[in-house]
Amino acid sequence: MSPRRVAFHARDGLRLSALEYPGPAHRTPILCLSGLTRSAADFEVLAARHALTRRVIALDHAGHGESARPAEIARYGIPNSLADVLDAMAALHCPRAVVLGTSFGGILAMVLAVFRPTALAGLVLNDIGPHVEDIGLDHVQNFVGLDPALENLEACVAHLQRTLPPMPMDEAGWLRFAANTFAPGGDGRWHPRWDTRIAQVLRNSGKAPELWPAFGAAGHAPMMLVRGELSDLLSPETAARMRRERPDMTFVNVPRCGHSPMLDEPQVVPALDRFLHAIP
């Protein structure tokens, strides 16, 4: 089932975009929120597994993918990004959803539990938690701000393999991942699909906020945590505390994987699908 590309405007007029996969109206939709350098395309494999059984919406954050880039970098950050999520839910008639958040998307999902708890029917956190390790955040900042202007898709794969933490993907997986990370520009070179100015916002913001109260605010919703075994953003200690505070939480640790799993790993797929199928 091919997705439908939908566009709408945020409260300030900025054009936002999402991929929408149709599903029955009586089932709770899945709302996918990507990481800081990722886009809605990352969820194509997951959406294909659930095609026609549940509506799936994958949002391009402002400055990412097909969404517009604002004139002022102050437009980026958690408050405006959360407001964009709420605008998307309103524009796409999705008042309540199972929210699947990777990295930055998971931060937004936890904060959503504070400001709109009724919107959260379930929560999947992909390699993110209430505490983010500084060493991992430093790596993210450096990666976000770089435009390597690569010559072809194969060079993009090589760059990602050199730069990113370990990821257990085959050749086809790396090509797909690279094509969702970079796009050819008018100069014939391949450039990031996100606004590299976001790195300035990260540097100005300093440490990531502690979100344990927000994690607690999601206590009413079924929860699942996926962690890359080698993740430098989500430490084993933070994951262990999350499991103590939510002993009912489904947990999957992906071996030989850094930040962040793609959610199509053989350890993840059956557990994630069982978790999603259990939510009406």
Q: Which residue has the higher pLDDT, 44 or 140?
A: 44
Domain holding 242, by residue range, is 4-134+210-277
Starting from the edge strand earliest in sequence, which strands make up the sheet with 250-254, in order?
4-9, 15-21, 56-60, 30-33, 97-102, 120-126, 223-228, 250-254
Residue 271 lies in a domain: yes
- Does residue 137 have a pLDDT over 90? no
Whether residue 196 contacts residue 145, with contact meaning beta carbons closer than 8 Å, is answered with yes
Q: Is residue 47 a part of any domain in this protein? A: yes
- Which residues contact residue 3 at a Cβ distance below 8 angstroms, ignoring those fewer than 6 apart? 19, 20, 21, 44, 47, 56, 58
Mean pLDDT across the chain, nearest whole number?
Answer: 96
Q: Is residue 33 part of a domain?
A: yes
Instruction: For residue 233, tell me if it sits in a domain.
Output: yes
Among 23-27, 63-67, 132-136, which stretch is predicted with the lowest mean pLDDT?
132-136
Say if CB 254 and CB 226 are below 8 A apart.
Answer: yes
* Residue 84 forms part of a structural domain: yes
Q: Which two tokens stand for residue 25?
A: 């109206």
Residue 242 contacts residue 216 (beta carbons within 8 Å): no
175 part of a folded domain: no
Instruction: Give tens-digit pLDDT for 76-101.
Output: 999 999 999 999 999 999 999 999 99
Does a structural domain hold residue 226? yes
pLDDT digits (tens, 9 = 90+) for 141-196: 889 999 999 999 999 999 999 999 999 999 999 999 999 999 999 999 999 999 99
Q: Compute the chain's Rg from CA coordinates.
A: 17
Domain count, the chain: 1
Q: What is the pLDDT of residue 189?
A: 98
Task: Give the pLDDT of residue 2.
Answer: 84
CA–CA distance, 212 with 196 (Å, rounded to integer) = 29
Other Cβ atoms within 10 Å of 14 Cβ, number: 19
| Beta-bridge mates of residue 150 | 190
Here the CATH number for the domain that contains residue 78 is: 3.40.50.1820
Mean pLDDT for 30-52 is 94
pTM of the shown model: 0.96
Residue 201, domain member (yes or no): no
> CB-based burial of residue 50 (10 Å sphere; 0-12 exposed, 13-18 middle, 19+ buried)?
buried
